[in-house]
Structures are given as C-alpha cells and as structure tokens.
Structure 1
C-alpha cells in the first residue's frame, strides 16, 4: 500500500505535458527473487523511477527497456534469468536463482482505464480488489496487451467467463497467479493479483510508548488511529504521523470507529479500568486481532471480572485476544516493544508463525514452478 501511494504521489507531481511515463510490473516469478509478482516501478523518460522490481539488480536494465517502451509507445515483457550467475547477460552476479518476467507498459494519461487510474481508485475507495492484467496476447484473440479486468466485492462489471473463476479464487485466497489461457485458439498470458488496503491499526491509549508504535506502523504504510479518553494526551505534535486522532470515552468508542476484517486493535493505555471497558466492547465486534499490553495476570484478572459479572465470552471470541502482546524477541525499550507488536500483527494477518526463516523447510514464499496453463 505504501509503495502504491508513493508511486501515485510521484506520478501526480509530474508535468505530463512534458514527461513520458512507463510502469514496470513483476508478472511472473519462477524460483527465488527479491520481489514477488505485483511489485511495481514507475519510470519517467528523464531517468527517474519510484518503486522497485528487485533489490536493485534489475532496475538499471529495466530503466533502459522502459525508455524504449516510452519511445515506441508499445509495451514489452522482459525476462530476467538469474539461475546462472556465470551466464547472466546483465554482467552481475544476482544470486537469486530465479526467473522473473517484467511487464513494461507506457502510460497514457488520457486513457480512462490506465493502470495508474485504477490504483488511484483503489487508494481512494480502500477496497479489496482483484486485477487481471493481460501481458501477452496475439492480435487474433481480440485482446489488447495491457488490458485489465477488475473484480471487487461490489463489482459492477462481470469478468469474461474464461477468466472469472481464477479471479474469484484469487479474491478468496489472496494468492497471485500467472495463467496461460487459450482464447480463439491463441495463447493469452494473464497476471492475476489481489491488492489489499493494508492493515488499519487502532491504538487505545496515547502514552509515551504509543509514539514509536505509531511512527513505525505509518512508516510501513499502515493506517493508524490513536484514541484516548484524555484529550490532553492527543496533542497532534506528539503523533504527527497518525492518520487520525480520536477523543472518546471507553463507553462509546466502538460506535465512533469503523472496524473491518483488516483492523488490529492494540490496548496500551496502562489504565486497567479503561482497558477493561474498551476490551469488553471490542470482543463482540468483528475485529480479528485484539492485543493487550501488559503481563498475563492483568488479562486473567479481566477474565475473572467478566465471569463474576456474568459477562463471560465464548472461547472462540477470546481466541482473538493476544495477551501478552508481541513476538518473543527480547524487547525492552518502547521502540523494541513496538517492533515486537508490529511483527506479531503482520504475522497474524499473513497467517505466519513469526519464527526464524532459516528453520522453515522449503521456500519462504509460495513458488510457481512454471507458467500455469488453464485446464
């Protein structure tokens, strides 16, 4: 989300009457690569770029290819084979051991459905959407290279029949796919990806230790709301990066917030009664992740109070509460604690364990062994 926003920011500051622009997108990866399918890089004809398609190894060559695309006005697919360092045509040892296809296309500012406009719509609406990009097609298919089909939860356009099932699957699983179809007897390569609006972090409490958590969360592109029942703690100068500062008491707070399946709530006010009141109101909501700062005994005390007052919650609801919060990284300082909290939240929403990658068997990413052909 942050990279997309930065690309849009740079694009919207360009004088498009004077500058030409191209967009490079990773559409296929076999084996290992620093960036996964969906990574983007905006390139201008004066040699500037924003975003990245690798760890810095491919950008120079992609820039040269993008200049040709902008000059000709025709898109191209560039394949980078980093399997063999000795035979690498780029003259550098990448060591990634992968094959990467990059789709580079010119951007026409006057085209209503150009990819930049679709990304702007996504950022504005903050919806979850699947975008299918045709990156290789013969003229006989009647499809244009660079054509895109969009599927959202409130879709008003219906994908073509040969594409719909894979787009629906991508929406459900979130896994990007590169698929080869046959249309009018001709091969068509399509990259299908789901883009998400990112995690929406709500921090209950505006103490000293919430400042680094707010800063780090916004640095990685999350939306951050800080809320408190003491307006003096919510001074904007303390949280310049926050998306929203909200003054509200614990009894009405859930009525003033928009809670989604991408919301992570973190309680760290250090006020037991406030945290108890907020948590009592959060558990019945749809928030998938609720973290409570403090020792395990503090949360156990809350559970005991619910039992005494006959406000006990089902175990399935309590399973959404993480207390103590954070990964076990030996955090001590507020900045380290913020890192541990963000690590756990990211692992939760990515459905990962948060362990050491060197102990994980196999690939650290789901691999696509070869270009998948539709049955």
Structure 2
C-alpha cells in the first residue's frame, strides 16, 4: 500500500497539461527476481519516477522504453532475461537468474478507468479485489491492450465469461497469474493479480514503547490506531505518525473499532487489568491476530482468571492469541521489540514461519505452476 500511495501522491504533483506519464508493471517472473508480479513504477516524460520494478538494475532501460510508449501512445511488454550475465544486453551483471516481463503503458488522464484511477479507488476503499489486465492480444481480438476488469465482493456483469474463472481462482488463492487465453479470432495475454489492503495495526496502550512500534509500522505503510483509557497518554505530539488516536475504556473499546481479516491487535499497556479486560473483549470478535506483550506467565494468569469467573473460550479463539508476542530476535530495547513484533505480524499474515532464508530449501518466493506461453511473439 505504501508504494501505491507514493505513486498516487507523485502523480497528483505532476502538471498533466505539460507532462506525459506512463506506468510500468511487472506482469511475469520466471526464476529469481528482486520484485514480484504486481510491482509498479510511475514514470513521467521529464525522467521523474516513483516505485520500482527491480533492485535498480532495470529502471534505466524501463525509463527509455517508457519514453517511447509516451511518445507513440502504444503500450508494450518488455522482457528482461537475467539468466546469463555475460550475454545481458543491458551491459550490467544483474545476477538475478530470472526472466521478468514488464508491461509499460501510457496514462490517459481523460480515461475514467485508467490504472491510476483504479489504484486510487483501491487505496480509498481498502478492500480485497482482483484486477485483470490485457497485456497483449492478436489483431483479431476486439480489446485494447491495457483494458482492465475488476472483481470485488460486488456483483458485476462487466467481466467476460472467459475471464471470470481465472479471476475467481486468483481471488481464492491470492497468487498472481499470467496466462494466455485463446478466444474466437485470436488470443490474449492477461495478467491477473489480487490486491489486498495493507495490514491495520491496533495498539492498546500508549506507553513509551508504543512510540517506536507506531513509527516503524507507519514507515512500512501500515495504518495504525493507538487507543488508551488515559487521554493524557494520547497526546498527538507523541504519535504524529498514527492514523488514529482513540480514547476509550476497556469495556467499550470493541464497540468503537472495526476489524478486517488484515487487522492485528497488540496489547501493551503494562496494566494487567486493562489488558485482561481488552483481551476478554477481543476474543469475542473476529480479529485474526491478537498479540500480548509480556511474559508467558502473565497470559497464564489471565487464563486462570477466566476459569475462576466461569468464562470459556474455544481453542480456536485462543489460537489467535500470541503470547509472548514477537519473533525470537534477542530484542531488548523498545525499537528492537517493535521490530520483533512487526516481524511476527508480517509473517502471520504472509503465512510464513519467519525462519532464516539461508535454511530454506528451494527458492525464496513460491513459483507459479502455470507457464506463461509466449504465443503472441
């Protein structure tokens, strides 16, 4: 989300009466690459750019290709083969050992469904959606390159029947798909990606160690709400990066907050009774991740308190509680603890075990089992 929001911010700063703009999007990766499908870079005709499609090795050539696209108004797919450093046409040893396809398209500011408009809507709504982009087509197909179809939770008849099954599959599994679809009269290359809203972090407690957690979370693009039952702790000058500061007592807090499947709740007030009351309320919600700062015995004491008062929570509900919270990094300072907490939350929502990459067998990123057939070359 942070990269998308930066692209939107730079786009809004440009004088579109004098500047032309293009958008470069990674649509296919085979082997290793620094960025994955869906990575974007906005380019203006004065050489300004925001975002990235690689670790810095492809951007220069992509800028040159983008100028060509802006001049002739025709999108293109550019293939970068980094498998052989010695034969690399870019003149630098990339060392990525991969093939990357980048779709570069001009942005028509008068088009109400141009890609920037769609990114802006996603940033505003912050829902889960699938976007399918026509990257290339044979001459007999009555679609333009750059045409897009959007699948959300809302019913729509605008998605063609031949495309809907693949879009629904991507919505379900979350992995991007680049594929060739044969139709009457020809074929199209389509890039389909699921876009998820950024992680939303709700922090219960506004102590000194909440400050670096808020700062680091917002730095990586998460939305952060800090809430407390002491209004004096919620001074805006202490949390200038926070998205929201909310004053509420523990008994009413869950009535004032909303949750998504990308929300993480972190309890770090250092007040046992406040954390117990909040945790008790949170377990009756569907927030997917609950982290509790402090030693394991603190959480065990809370569980004993529930038994004593006759409160019961299912094992499924209790599995959402992470206590002690954080990865085992040897963290000691508030900043290091914040890093440990954010690392665990990111791993949780990514479905990873957060181990050392050096110990992982096979590639860093999952490989798509579907081959991208270059039938339109």
Secondary structure at 1:275's aligned position in 2? helix
Asked whether 1:27 is paired with 2:27, we answer yes
* Corresponding residue of 2:49: 49
Secondary structure at 1:87's aligned position in 2? coil
Give, in angstroms, the shift of residue 158 of structure 1.
4.1
* Corresponding residue of 1:363: 363
Matches within 5 A, 1:20-169: 20-169=20-169
Runs of 4+ in 1 over 2 A off after TM superposition: 155-158, 368-373
**In 1: Cα distance, 2:179 partner to 2:75 partner:** 19
Asked whether 1:206 is paired with 2:206, we answer yes
Give, in angstroms, the shift of residue 48 of structure 1.
0.6
**In 2: Cα distance, 1:249 partner to 1:177 partner:** 46
Q: Which runs of 5+ in 2 are unaligned?
A: none
Cα deviations by residue, 1:192-247 (Å, 9 ceiling, x for unpaired): 00111111100000000000000000000000000000000000000000000000
* Corresponding residue of 1:223: 223
* Corresponding residue of 2:178: 178
Secondary structure at 2:121's aligned position in 1? helix
Asked whether 1:334 is paired with 2:327, we answer no
Matches within 5 A, 1:249-328: 249-328=249-328
**In 2: Cα distance, 1:287 partner to 1:266 partner:** 11
Cα deviations by residue, 1:165-209 (Å, 9 ceiling, x for unpaired): 110111111100101100114121000001111111000000000
* 152-161 vs 7-16, greater mean Cα deviation: 152-161
**In 2: Cα distance, 1:185 partner to 1:140 partner:** 5
**In 2: Cα distance, 1:371 partner to 1:103 partner:** 17
**In 1: Cα distance, 2:372 partner to 2:79 partner:** 17
Between Structure 1 and Structure 2, how many residues are aligned? 373
Give, in angstroms, the shift of residue 156 of structure 1.
3.1
TM-score, normalization: structure 2? 0.98
Secondary structure at 1:246's aligned position in 2? strand
**In 1: Cα distance, 2:122 partner to 2:48 partner:** 24
Q: Is the 8 A contact 2:179 2:370 kept in 1?
A: no
Give, in angstroms, the shift of residue 270 of structure 1.
0.1
* 330-339 vs 180-189, greater mean Cα deviation: 180-189
Give, in angstroms, the shift of residue 348 of structure 1.
0.3
Secondary structure at 1:225's aligned position in 2? strand
Q: Which runs of 5+ in 1 are unaligned?
A: none
Q: Is the 8 A contact 1:347 1:354 kept in 2?
A: yes
TM-score, normalization: structure 1? 0.98
Secondary structure at 1:90's aligned position in 2? coil
Q: Is the 8 A contact 1:31 1:369 kept in 2?
A: no
Cα deviations by residue, 1:255-289 (Å, 9 ceiling, x for unpaired): 00011111100000000000000000001101000
C-alpha RMSD of matched pairs (Å): 0.9
